[in-house]
Amino acid sequence: MELDLAEIRQLAAEQGIDAETLDQALCEALLLAYQKMPHSSPHARVELDDRAGTFTVWARDEVPADSGAASQTGHRTDAEGAPDAERPEEDAVGQPPARPVDQVEDLKSVPAEPQGESEAEGPQGPAGITAEAGVRAASGRGTSEDGTPGAPGRDGSEEDDRPRMVLGEEYDDTPKDFGRMAASTARQVIRQLFQEAEDERIFGAFSGQKGKLITGVVQQDADDPSNVHVAVGDVEAILPKREQVPGERYRHGERLRVYVVNVSRGLRGPEIVVSRSHPELVRRLFEREVPELVSGAVSIMSIAREAGARTKIAVRANTKGVNPKGALIGPAGARVRAVMENLGPEKIDIVDWSAEPADFVAAALSPAVVKEVQIVSKTNRTAIAFIKDAQLSLAIGKEGQNARLAAKLTGWNIGIESAETHEQELRRQAAAQASPQGEEG
């Protein structure tokens, strides 16, 4: 059967598909299409001829192992699995030859000859075989010790009566009307291979982009209103609802910087999930603006973010003489403003990181001024910050936002108390301890 293999391979080579992969896929698809044809052989293979541009379906049938003629003819057998040459010939009157059971009836009708003295011993013939034994031998059945007739064969199974089947020689079984189905199958194989090659190219290109910042164009999709589609080149990434910033609007055609959360193989090809609310998005935006972060002179130690509202960043200098907060803020605040332009109305607080928990907690509560921090338990990471009454609302923040972000940034459970109230309590305790001593004096 003709098939334009040269053109098919040329198209596959343009997509980066090697000839071996193409041939294997074509053979499997053509064999599957052949097996859907009526009267197809379950033992078949497909052979491609590169020079002639054709393919052939080679099939093999099951034949009895003792049938030498059938195994060499390479033709199909009859419905019972036996070749035509092995069928029993009919007799002169058109009837099949007598079966063994007829012979059994003849043996039963012949009377046993008397054997003189042996009659007393039983109806046993000269060779020591009784008539019943002869019947059993002719019928191929035996009896068990309790007289129950046994099953056919030596071990009581019917499998011994069945001929052992083997595969005969191969023969050309290519259907004559297979051309249209073969062409359709080839088109499907090529389309699938091209799609798999494209998916593999996209996955390979974006698998290394996980955890990085990319820029795309917002695309609207009426069939998927909850998610935002971001076109990155000729690939569309998904910005799901959970990764969107509350209150942020995404307009069609708008350029958007997003953070790549995950790249995986899905049912419909590679799935690229991006985010606008991830805390690492802020880190990547600062790395674009602050060369000290790229060189390692300054490090961002931790980030706490409530997307769309506020972000706190703890920084540390790795080189002497470098101001970490000043490096992120930039000359006249140019660097931090460039980052905030990508985050909309979101505010950013930059604080100094410290290995001392008390100092780190005090810095994390900025812009409030902390008077004192008391470490309650290092094991449970619990601390209390004492702040003046005028700074309490600033330390807590709107709906507790500042205190909540400070706890996320430091990883400590922070309690906020009034410094004046704490001082009064200390004075009261000191006076209570002093009064008993005065009475004793």
Higher pLDDT, 318 or 52: 318
Task: Kindly report, residue by residue over 232-253, the tens digit of the pLDDT.
Answer: 877 888 999 999 999 888 988 9
Domain 287-353 listed as CATH 3.30.300.20: yes
pLDDT at 290 over 90: yes
Across all residues in the chain, what is the average pLDDT? 77
Q: Where are the domains of the chain?
A: 5-65+168-193, 210-275, 287-353, 356-441
Instruction: Quickly name the fold that domain 210-275 has.
Output: OB fold (Dihydrolipoamide Acetyltransferase, E2P) (2.40.50)
The correct CATH number of 356-441 out of 3.40.50.300, 3.40.50.620, 3.30.300.20, 3.30.429.10 is: 3.30.300.20
Higher pLDDT, 64 or 423: 423
Cα–Cα distance, 203 to 222 (Å, whole number)? 26
pLDDT at 286: 96
Report the pLDDT averaged over residues 309-333: 93
Q: Under a CB-based contact definition with an 8 Å cutoff, are residues 319 and 262 in contact?
A: no
Cα–Cα distance, 50 to 3 (Å, whole number)? 10
pLDDT at 202: 77
Task: Kindly report, residue by residue over 388-412, the tens digit of the pLDDT.
Answer: 999 999 999 999 999 999 999 999 9
Question: Which residue in 301, 196, 203, 201 sits closest to 260, CA to CA?
Answer: 203
Q: Residues 6 or more apart from 381 whose CB is under 8 A from it? A: 357, 411, 412, 413
The torsion defined by the Cα of 132, 134, 137 and 143, in degrees rounded to 10, comes to 20
Amino acid at position 30, single letter:
L
Task: Kindly report, residue by residue over 351-368, the tens digit of the pLDDT.
Answer: 999 999 999 999 999 999
Report the pLDDT averaged over residues 127-137: 41
Q: Under a CB-based contact definition with an 8 Å cutoff, are residues 243 and 273 in contact?
A: yes
Task: Kindly report, residue by residue over 163-210, the tens digit of the pLDDT.
Answer: 788 888 888 877 777 767 776 777 777 777 777 777 777 777 777 888
The correct CATH number of 5-65+168-193 out of 3.40.50.720, 3.30.1480.10, 3.40.640.10, 3.40.50.1980 is: 3.30.1480.10
Whether 287-353 and 356-441 share one fold: the answer is yes
Amino acid at position 387, single letter:
I
Question: Which residue in 437, 386, 438, 391 sits closest to 414, CA to CA?
Answer: 386
pLDDT at 244: 93
pLDDT at 130 over 50: no
pLDDT at 16 over 70: yes
Cα–Cα distance, 262 to 44 (Å, whole number)? 44
pLDDT at 278 over 80: yes
H helices, E strands: number in the chain: 15, 16
Q: Under a CB-based contact definition with an 8 Å cutoff, are residues 139 and 167 in contact?
A: no
Q: Residues 6 or more apart from 395 whose CB is under 8 A from it? A: 365, 368, 370, 385, 387, 402, 403, 416
Q: How far is CA 15 from CA 18, 29, 141, 271, in A?
A: 9, 20, 69, 21
pLDDT at 328 over 70: yes
Cα–Cα distance, 365 to 414 (Å, whole number)? 10
Q: Which of 270-274, 311-315, 414-418 is least confident? A: 270-274
* 199 three-class SS: helix
What is the helix (H) or strand (E) element at residue 321, kind and residue range? none
User: Confidence band (pLDDT; 50, 70, 90) for 343?
Assistant: very high
